[in-house]
């Protein structure tokens, strides 16, 4: 091969390589632009959901506040029940004391036997 043919071949190969690199860069740029556009679209969708997220966060905060209020109310009710149970136990103990005292006075009741159990009187009918 002559030197001119070699030079032409080298130049053609270099031009083909340059064109291939240019095409690859152009395709890469186009793909990057498409990805940028896709990313922007996704960001726009995310921004559109911001109001829904805010609304849901507000609903969540309100539900949490109601739950906190309900927990406080339950604690108060449990305290009231515990107090009522203590009062009931005190009143039952007082009644049993009076019944034991009555049984101790009553000559028909053997309040010293091993099987003695104080039996409160039946409530009177009005």
Q: What is the pLDDT of residues 66-123, one digit of tens each?
A: 999 999 999 999 999 999 999 999 999 999 999 888 888 888 888 788 888 887 777 7
Give the CA angle between residues 3, 5, 7 to the nearest 5°. 70
CA 73 vs CA 61, 69, 80, 97: distances in Å: 18, 6, 10, 36
- Residue for token digits 């009177």? 124
Phi, psi of 106 (to 5 degrees): -70, 120
| Residue 111 within any structural domain of the chain | no
| Residue 88 within any structural domain of the chain | no
**Residue 119 DSSP label:** -
Give yes or no for a contact between 6 and 14, defined as CB atoms under 8 angstroms apart.
no
How high is the pLDDT of residue 124? 61
Q: What is the pTM of this model?
A: 0.50
- How many structural domains is the chain composed of? 1
Instruction: Note down the domain range covering 21.
Output: 1-48
What does the chain come to in residues?
A: 126
| Residue 60 within any structural domain of the chain | no
| Residue 2 within any structural domain of the chain | yes
How high is the pLDDT of residue 93? 92
- As a whole number of angstroms, the longest Cα–Cα distance in the chain is 147
**Residue 110 DSSP label:** -
d(CA 40, CA 35): 8
Give yes or no for a contact between 103 and 118, defined as CB atoms under 8 angstroms apart.
yes
| Residue 57 within any structural domain of the chain | no
| Residue 30 within any structural domain of the chain | yes
Structure tokens at 58: 């507000």
């Amino acid at each position: 091969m002559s030197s001119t043919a070699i030079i032409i071949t080298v130049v053609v190969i270099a031009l083909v390589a340059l064109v291939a690199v240019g095409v690859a860069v152009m395709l890469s740029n186009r793909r990057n632009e498409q990805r940028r556009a896709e990313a922007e679209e996704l960001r726009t969708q995310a921004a559109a959901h911001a109001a829904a997220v805010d609304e849901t966060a507000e609903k969540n905060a309100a539900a949490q506040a109601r739950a906190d209020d309900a927990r406080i109310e339950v604690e108060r009710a449990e305290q009231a029940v515990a107090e009522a149970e203590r009062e009931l136990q005190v009143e039952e103990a007082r009644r049993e004391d009076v019944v034991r005292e009555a049984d101790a006075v009553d000559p028909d009741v053997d309040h010293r036997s091993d099987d003695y159990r104080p039996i409160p009187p039946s409530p009177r009918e009005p």
